[in-house]
């Protein structure tokens, strides 16, 4: 090789610019070129819903540095000595001659860029549902800033009082909040029986209920049959459960890795649809790297490939690809199956495996659900959160967490992610010396409290039933005894139909009212008192008692 090393990067949004910046810092002499089909580069794609709602006022804010300098091609040229060719589409990779064929989007002119190392950061594309009418006016997808501009204009000035969001995944949920904040009436239409399939069904139910409390119409288990318009513009969405008026529709049934360039060049594509890479982010061609949404992910908790398109992962992978491309060896250990989002004033997150995913993989598990304040109840501004933890029975390892609520869910998710990355057991998690002061947590933090409940379950001290399982049993008129151990005031303010009230302090004395010959499910507000009641009854020889996981706070029905 003569002359400086040539690094060519396809994709200018997240992983691409990160790879370029890292390569530059490690290699002052390399020639680095970013090829981007769109006009704009290095923007915060994850911020688009907040730009659409108007919470982020200026488009420019999404593509400026923290001190307000626009990250445009001139910035990259001047500050980083990186050449950006925007409005330029990569059309083919010639792996023999080490050349990338590109086409100027405006002039159509085709040229070839020689490379020593090529980094693919082509991102992901929205999945198009096979629905008649999807090409009508005001039926939008959300991929880039220009899409957000169109959406924002219609929301704020387009007289679209009814908005339908087709698809209840991450983007659909974030957009639901954004649109509702703008004053429109939103319907979310999801074909599956729940929104956010990254959550177990009873956790998703809590989110659905919260959305409904903000006026959103949530239609799960609903299939879109067609989209109908008037004068070429959408007017309604026709589903198997009736018609929804809609002057604006977002198609957000999912996204998939953009791999056509890689596939046509003969690079291997993985089970989850991404370009296969090794831990150095190298594709099946050692001179070609891939990073970001287009690259296959490996979930180290699950032990399987997965697809989770996130800016955080894209940045990390871009850095690793940029390092390795210039000869500075670095390994990427994979992802944790993490996702989070804000749903109105709730925080929602997950990582690792859900109980549902674990069962699909055939892993014997135990779960615990904890409902608790995020800080001491006496501290002003304390808010509740509900966490569900999943442990592998054989190893007691924490392998999954989900959380919802107005309190600080995400801190606990992040701690659990770190614990899962380190393959900690729930016993390890229960003894973490987490930072404690009343403004931040309870003395026994809710995560530690949850880990202790899970340890108690693994130790056979208590069994539990999820809210959805209990609801199914009640609907099937199973002959069970449902015991509320809260106070009479709490019971009167709302209870699960059919439950019998015996406050905790009276359980021991009135145990003759509690049957020994049928299933007994005990609940209180959070299931802490229910657990005490279980222990009291088991001390009296009962072996038929269990708690409602998460208590009445986690009862979404």
Among 89, 202, 296, 408, binds its own copies (CB under 8 A): 408
Separation between Cα atoms, residue 1 and residue 235, nearest integer Å: 60
As measured in angstroms, the least distance from the Cβ of 233 to its own copies is 31
Q: Which stretch binds its own copies (CB under 8 A): 156-164, 308-316, 389-397, 471-479?
A: 308-316
Nearer residue to its own copies within complex by CB, 162 or 332: 332
Q: Restricting to residues 492-511, which ones interact with its own copies according to CB under 8 A?
A: 504-505, 508
Separation between Cα atoms, residue 175 and residue 367, nearest integer Å: 31
Among 31, 39, 61, 147, binds its own copies (CB under 8 A): 61
Nearer residue to its own copies within complex by CB, 174 or 366: 174
Separation between Cα atoms, residue 400 and residue 414, nearest integer Å: 12
Q: Quick check: helix, strand or coil at residue 326?
A: coil
DSSP string, 12-73: -SSHHHHHHHHHHHH-TT-EEEEE-SSS--S--GGGHHHHHHTSS--GGGGGB-TTS-B-SH
As measured in angstroms, the least distance from the Cβ of 117 to its own copies is 19
- 377 binding its own copies? (CB under 8 A): yes
Separation between Cα atoms, residue 287 and residue 293, nearest integer Å: 19
- 25 binding its own copies? (CB under 8 A): yes
Sign, CA torsion 375/451/300/347:
negative
Phi and psi at residue 51, to the nearest 5°: -75, -40
- 448 binding its own copies? (CB under 8 A): yes
Among 83, 418, 511, 544, binds its own copies (CB under 8 A): 418
Phi-psi region of 26 (alpha: psi -120 to 50; beta: other; left: phi over 0): alpha
- 439 binding its own copies? (CB under 8 A): yes
- 523 binding its own copies? (CB under 8 A): no
In the residue annotation, 340 being an active-site residue is answered as no
Sign, CA torsion 551/547/451/352:
negative
Among 99, 147, 469, 538, binds its own copies (CB under 8 A): 538
Nearer residue to its own copies within complex by CB, 63 or 261: 63
Separation between Cα atoms, residue 549 and residue 466, nearest integer Å: 5
Separation between Cα atoms, residue 329 and residue 314, nearest integer Å: 18
- 374 binding its own copies? (CB under 8 A): no
Separation between Cα atoms, residue 146 and residue 156, nearest integer Å: 15
As measured in angstroms, the least distance from the Cβ of 505 to its own copies is 5
Q: Restricting to residues 81-110, which ones interact with its own copies according to CB under 8 A?
A: 81
Q: Restricting to residues 330-359, which ones interact with its own copies according to CB under 8 A?
A: 332-342, 347, 349, 351
The Cα-based distances of 252 to 140, 168, 367 in angstroms read: 9, 8, 31
Q: Restricting to residues 126-185, which ones interact with its own copies according to CB under 8 A?
A: 174
- 47 binding its own copies? (CB under 8 A): yes
The binding track of 449-478 with respect to its own copies, each residue x by CB under 8 A or -, is ---x------x-x-----------------
- Residues identified as active-site: 46
């Amino acid at each position: 090789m003569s002359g400086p090393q040539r690094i060519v990067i396809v994709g200018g949004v997240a992983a691409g610019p990160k790879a370029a910046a890292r390569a530059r810092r490690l290699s002052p002499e390399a020639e680095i070129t970013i090829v981007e089909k769109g006009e704009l580069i290095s923007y915060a794609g994850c911020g688009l819903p907040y730009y659409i709602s108007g919470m982020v006022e200026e488009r420019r804010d999404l593509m400026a540095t923290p001190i307000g300098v626009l990250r445009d091609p001139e910035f990259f040229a001047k500050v980083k000595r990186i050449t950006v060719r925007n409005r330029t589409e990569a059309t083919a990779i010639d792996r023999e001659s080490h050349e990338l064929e590109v086409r100027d989007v405006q002039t159509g002119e085709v040229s070839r860029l020689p490379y020593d190392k090529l980094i693919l950061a082509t991102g992901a594309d929205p999945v198009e549902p096979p629905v008649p009418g999807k090409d009508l006016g005001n039926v939008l997808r959300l991929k880039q800033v220009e899409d957000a501009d169109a959406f924002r204009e219609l929301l704020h000035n387009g007289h679209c009082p009814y908005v339908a969001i087709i698809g209840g995944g991450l983007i659909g949920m974030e957009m639901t909040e954004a649109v509702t904040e703008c004053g429109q009436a939103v319907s979310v239409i999801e074909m599956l029986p729940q929104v956010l399939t990254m959550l177990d069904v009873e956790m998703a139910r809590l989110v659905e209920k919260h959305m409904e409390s903000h006026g959103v119409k949530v239609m799960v288990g609903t299939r879109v049959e067609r989209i109908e318009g008037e004068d070429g513009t959408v007017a309604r969405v026709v589903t198997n459960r009736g018609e929804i008026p809609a002057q604006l529709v977002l198609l957000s049934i999912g996204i998939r890795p953009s791999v056509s360039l890689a596939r046509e060049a003969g690079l291997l594509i993985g089970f989850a649809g991404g370009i296969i890479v090794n831990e150095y982010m190298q594709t099946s061609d050692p001179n070609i790297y891939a990073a970001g949404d287009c690259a296959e992910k490996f979930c180290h908790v699950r032990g399987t490939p997965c697809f989770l398109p996130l800016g955080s992962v894209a940045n990390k992978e871009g850095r690793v690809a940029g390092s390795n491309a210039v000869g500075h060896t670095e390994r990427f250990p994979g992802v944790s199956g993490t996702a989070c989002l804000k749903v109105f004033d709730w925080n929602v997150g997950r990582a690792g495996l859900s109980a549902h995913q674990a069962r699909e993989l055939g892993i014997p598990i135990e779960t615990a659900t904890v409902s608790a304040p995020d800080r001491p109840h006496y501290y002003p501004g304390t808010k509740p959160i509900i966490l569900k933890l999943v442990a592998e029975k054989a190893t007691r390892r924490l392998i999954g967490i989900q959380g919802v609520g107005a309190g600080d869910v995400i801190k606990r998710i992040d701690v659990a992610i770190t614990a899962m990355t380190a393959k900690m057991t729930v016993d390890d998690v229960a003894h973490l010396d987490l930072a404690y002061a009343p403004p931040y947590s309870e003395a026994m933090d809710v995560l530690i409290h949850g880990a202790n409940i899970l340890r108690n379950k693994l130790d056979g001290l208590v069994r539990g039933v999820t809210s959805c399982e209990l609801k199914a049993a009640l609907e099937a008129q199973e002959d069970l005894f449902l015991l509320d151990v809260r106070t009479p005031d709490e019971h009167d303010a709302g209870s699960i139909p059919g439950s019998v009230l015996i406050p905790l302090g009276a359980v021991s004395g009135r145990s003759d009212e509690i049957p020994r010959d049928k299933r007994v499910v005990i609940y209180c507000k959070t299931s802490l008192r229910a657990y005490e009641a279980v222990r009291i009854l088991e001390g009296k020889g009962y072996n038929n008692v269990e708690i409602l996981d998460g208590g009445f706070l986690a009862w979404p029905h």
